[in-house]
A and B are shown apart, each in its own frame.
Chain A
């Protein structure tokens, strides 16, 4: 929901980034205010996940230009874990499997770390068990997933639910959901998006990264951005997503290049 007077959570200006010396992000500008839902769409390889990873602080990506402020602070001053504790959350496109670390142990560590940051009480294993089971109900998740290794042997859809479960536990100010819809069947998509909607408030914001319109039927965006070759080449309202669904991405690129030449 757009509120005229809400403050900017995230301000990206002229962001450039490389991986292995190859420039992937070529000047990104984006402002996200609290209460808003932004969708970033674009074909495969346009740099959406790279942007998400740069925001989360993955050190394989070198920032070569521009700035990012998060709640007024220079994001580049913060390590990945400090970003997480400050309220930035990335739901991974490809969640990592960590055999040998039990999911419940991992979830509790993450939860307690962020709680401690906010000066709140940590939960012991028994208290946490009750707490996390409630959150799992929201996502229609089988509690058995607590006893497995982190994402170990989870199906694509189960991994995505586990990501949103983490979002529900950490209650971030800004959540970036990278292709959370892929791997979810239609029932699961409804459940997961419903869970996300319940977490949305006027004080937080969500960036949805996707290349299908499908998810946007459930989580309605305030802005839709189209990314191509490391740039945001068009921004519109939720109707832009429907346009993209029927007409594809080519016309957006053509329009952008025509404007650039003019």
Chain B
């Protein structure tokens, strides 16, 4: 792979960083400064790093980036088509910058008993004490260049605080729209679900152009005791784009986190999801679907860390790979000493639609407790010829039969999205995508 001296490359990545306005919060500026320092010391990972063995991101280093320019031409209809009917609250970011004109007014969230705001807003100062223990503390950047870069650019971002025992039915939609080629944006989310609260959040990456750009996102979710969070993450970046995403979830006592992540876009995408079941009786369900074709690469790394007893985790990850695309799944389940009665299942199921398509799937179990139930399995297959024959014997063409079965394979994950309009829209997207291939 091509060697890039980390300094000149980082210089280009850190372009524009010094112009960020300082925050009134000293710790915020401190966090940013230490991330800048750290970014300066870390190197771009290569395929020699175990964690990046299958994912060669050297093409990223060949791209020149500029800071995003302010967009003035964007009209409401450009943005509105991404809106979700069910969402009561919406935060919109364009090329990383917060767009109050497209977002719902903060008082609307307040009426629902929520704090939803942009991280750069002055409102954040008043929540400083709530945010400080969490922002940048769950998605650590000591060993992670991308998280360090994102934190170095910490400015705009979504902040959602769900107060104690608040149950919010309507989803919160956080929409990141890419409109400019050759820019790097650093989307950021922090969600704090206080004890006994319940919320659904949709983290949505979309594009209005087909150029090359970089999305480098970091999301931190904090679930206090008995909190329930549904997290839907949709990555529909341009097929020329690079998407690096990190999500760190911290689960307290008896809290429940359910996530569905869907990766459709990007030339190279990498999503790391780390869920730490940090107290007794926490529960998570983490499902994923990657649907890729052409020369796309989609890499998902998850780590479910059972740190305390009586935790439950469920995971189903599916990849549908067409063309010469390449999917990677690395699913680590960690059961720490003392995390007795952990109950964990993981399943990786993969469908290859082309002889050139490839998948690398690796379960990784590290179990240090003796009274645990852990099951895992992985399958890689093609469409079933008996199912195809059955459909054709009823008059469906070969293509229609293949599309229907491919679609059905993916629908199992999409069906788990708790937002009807989004589910419908994705079903349509998947159906059209499988039709094309």
- A90 neighbours in B (Cβ, 8 Å): 393
Chain B residues, CB < 8 A from A96: 386-387, 389-390
Task: List B contacts of A110 (CB < 8 A).
Answer: 394-396
Q: In the docked arrangement, what's the CA distance between A114 and B393, Å?
A: 11
Contacting pair B387 A100 (CB below 8 A): no
Alpha-carbon separation in the docked complex, A60 to B384 (Å): 13
A100 CB contact (under 8 Å) in B389, B396, B411: B411
Task: State in angstroms the CA–CA spacing of A60 and B404 once bound together.
Answer: 22
Q: Could you tell me if B404 and A84 are in contact, using CB atoms closer than 8 angstroms?
A: no
Q: How far is the CB of B350 from chain A (nearest CB, A)?
A: 15
In the complex the two chains form, what is the Cα distance from A58 to B389 in whole Å?
7
For the side of the interface on A, what is the size category? 20 to 34
| A56 smallest CB distance to B (angstroms) | 5
| Distance A95 CA – B398 CA, assembled complex (angstroms) | 19
Residue numbers in B under 8 Å from A80 (CB-CB): 389, 392-393
Contact across chains for A101 and B404 when beta carbons are under 8 A apart: yes
- Expressed in whole angstroms, the minimum distance between the Cβ of A19 and any Cβ of chain B is 14
Asked whether A113 is an interface residue with its Cβ less than 8 Å from the other chain, the reply is yes
A133 to chain B, nearest CB (A): 19
Chain B 394-416 per-residue mask, 1 if CB under 8 angstroms from chain A, else 0:
11111011001101110110000
**Shortest Cβ distance from residue A96 to the other chain B in the assembled complex, whole angstroms:** 4
Please tell me if the beta carbons of B405 and A84 are within 8 angstroms of each other in the complex.
no
In the complex, what residues of B have CB within 8 A of residue A230's CB? none
A143 at the interface (CB under 8 A from B): no
- Judged by a CB distance under 8 angstroms, whether B391 is at the interface is yes
Cβ of A98 and Cβ of B393 under 8 Å apart?
no
CB within 8 A of B408: which of A84, A92, A100? A100
- Give Cα A152–Cα B386 distance, bound, in whole angstroms: 15
Residues from chain B with Cβ under 8 Å of A60 in the complex: 385
A173 to B331, CA, bound (A): 53
Could you tell me which residues of chain B, from 366 to 402, have a CB within 8 Å of some CB in chain A?
385-387, 389-398, 400-401
Instruction: Tell me the complex Cα distance, A166–B398, Å.
Output: 19
Asked if residues A92 and B395 are in contact (CB atoms below 8 Å), the reply is no
The CA of A106 and the CA of B395, in the complex, are separated in Å by 11
A217 interface residue (CB < 8 Å to B): no
Q: Which residues of B contact A72 (CB under 8 A)?
A: none
**Which A residues are CB-close (under 8 A) to B408?**
98-101, 149
Verify B395–A95 contact, CB threshold 8 A: no
- Out of B395, B397, B405, which one reaches A114, CB within 8 Å? B395
Q: Which residues of B contact A56 (CB under 8 A)?
A: 389, 393
Q: How far is B398's CA from A242's CA once the two chains are assembled, in angstroms?
A: 43
If the complex has contacts A98-B387, A100-B411, A100-B412, are A79 and B405 also in contact, measured as CB distance less than 8 A? no
**Cβ-based interface call for A85 (8 A):** yes
List A contacts of B390 (CB < 8 A).
92, 95-96, 98
Contacts A96-B387, A98-B387, A100-B408 given; does A109 touch B396 at CB 8 Å: yes
- Whether A117 sits at the interface, judged by CB under 8 Å, is yes
**A81 on the B face (CB < 8 A):** yes
- Asked if A57 is at the interface (CB within 8 A of a chain B CB), the reply is yes
- Interface membership of A68, Cβ < 8 A: no
Most buried by B among A81, A89, A99, A170: A81
Closest 3 CB pairs of A and B: A100-B408, A110-B394, A113-B395
**CB<8 Å pairs between A and B, sample of 8:** A59-B385, A79-B398, A80-B392, A96-B389, A96-B390, A99-B408, A101-B404, A106-B404
